[in-house]
Structure 1
């Protein structure tokens, strides 16, 4: 008796049945902690992941003053959203983020060097005229010390611990933008912010501009290929131990649907 080759329908059913055990394993509770500008993206990923995996529950704990990495180490969270790796923890990159320099539209400073940005935010430069700008004093706007965008900004400019205490510390992006717009001469404010937020407010007609650095404009292509000198990875950090739920979430974030969500605010890590 000869055996016939299985039909396409049979193969489909067999593949579906084979996949059932792995789907059943993706269940349980997952806590993701963060404190930076990624909250909207992570919330969207979490809800889409839950929809795809009905037995999985994802809690997103977001606090401007929290320490996500410490929460993972202590077991209070399984994933931390950060911009830099941490010794002893596994790191998975899901996106790129540019760090852009924001000024008021009336500030005719249009470009700076990376070194000038370092001098600016370490307090060495006191007036915009030193950078070819207006005769106004500089008001620095900083971000909270525990936020990942601040860590990456300091490290890449080699100014860790050098941002002056006189800088105005603001956590929320919308308040940062309002402060830059609302600061009038004899002061002119400047701040650093995520690329997506910066491009959004500029395209929305808000009276701000983004400074070119080393003659490179802050744009998606220039950040993606590394020509723009200030960028940070968006990382998911976890303990180095097997966890099917963590693995499944990271795989989803790197899948086509996940990267589409990521691309709403950031530069997908896996671009076509």
Structure 2
């Protein structure tokens, strides 16, 4: 009798162990599935804003779209407005990332700039661009200065057609304007003209206005406007890498202190091979790693 009871109890124990074991395997499978699913969809969550440079905007927008596709619970809002706007907003805590064509020290007070961390994500080249019908292909730096300061008012003065020069400028908050003023115009102040805070609008106006001239980042050169050589040097990536073409700037993404959470994840993605080796050149930007020269906040250029 006792042996029968023992066998029954043993059988019950074996059956209960099998049920628990199956349940444990099921839990492990479910847990493993959730982990795999999280790896596939991405684990970054939350919402951030990146505001500022319109020259950098196309790259940040496309990178944000790719990042959000991999991380469905992440929301990245990208806005333009100019480098000055981006820097002031990130310094005030109104945005998570401030996109800028210039060093923070060039736009902010030393106290404001002190708390910001610089993330140099690439290099942008800029060119003077004109209406497609302008027959001038090359200008000297002095001619360019004379055009933008209002001394040259008709294209015939430098061998072009008898058409009035129409200046299309960016606002003073623009990092593109600051870069162009510093390295194309040697710091000369631009004369008044049509002013637009969007590079896309600048391109459209120049394309539609006979005699128009302005300046754009390489990423906006789509054939609808003509880029001018400067002192015989083509505005091209290889000439920026060597320092032969002077109108370029680092593209900065500033954070207030060291980035954390989604901001850090996105900035890490900006420096990934997927962005640096593929997206950066595809959109007309230059990987900083290819530069043979470097430039400091004072504008001094030296060999790497």
Shorter chain as normaliser: what TM range? 0.7 to 0.9
Residues 1:81 and 1:127: Cα distance change in structure 2 (over 3 Å): same
Question: Does 1 or 2 have the higher relative contact order (CA < 8 Å, sep 6+)?
Answer: 1
Q: Contact 2:119–2:252 at 8 Å: present in 1 too?
A: yes
1:48 aligned to which of 66, 71, 78: 66
TM-fit CA distance, 1:271: 5.6
CA distance, structure 2, for counterparts of residue 174 and residue 60 of structure 1: 15
1:125 aligns with 2:142: no
CA RMSD in angstroms, aligned pairs only: 3.0
The residue aligned with 1:197 is 220
Determine which structure has more spread, i.e. the larger CA radius of gyration: 2
CA distance, structure 2, for counterparts of residue 209 and residue 61 of structure 1: 27
1:111 aligns with 2:138: yes
The residue aligned with 1:255 is 272
Q: Contact 1:93–1:234 at 8 Å: present in 2 too?
A: yes
1:33 aligned to which of 44, 51, 60: 51
- SS of 2:166's partner is strand
- SS of 2:282's partner is coil
Alignment TM-score, normalising by the size of structure 2: 0.69
The residue aligned with 1:144 is 171
1:212 aligned to which of 229, 235, 244: 229
Q: Contact 1:96–1:266 at 8 Å: present in 2 too?
A: no
CA distance, structure 2, for counterparts of residue 124 and residue 246 of structure 1: 46
Unpaired stretches in structure 2, ≥5 consecutive residues:
1-34, 105-112, 291-304
TM-fit CA distance, 1:191: 1.1
Alignment TM-score, normalising by the size of structure 1: 0.76
Aligned length: 243
CA distance, structure 2, for counterparts of residue 85 and residue 41 of structure 1: 19
Q: Relative to total residues, which structure has the larger helix share, 1 or 2?
A: 2
Unpaired stretches in structure 1, ≥5 consecutive residues:
1-15
CA distance, structure 2, for counterparts of residue 235 and residue 65 of structure 1: 9
The residue aligned with 1:170 is 196
CA distance, structure 1, for counterparts of residue 84 and residue 218 of structure 2: 23
Residues 233-258 of structure 1 deviation map (CA, whole Å, 9 limit, x = unaligned): 21101123352543332221111112
The residue aligned with 2:294 is none
1:62 aligns with 2:77: no
Deviates more, 1:253-262 or 1:126-135: 126-135
- SS of 1:216's partner is coil
The residue aligned with 1:7 is none
Q: Contact 2:56–2:100 at 8 Å: present in 1 too?
A: no
The residue aligned with 2:8 is none
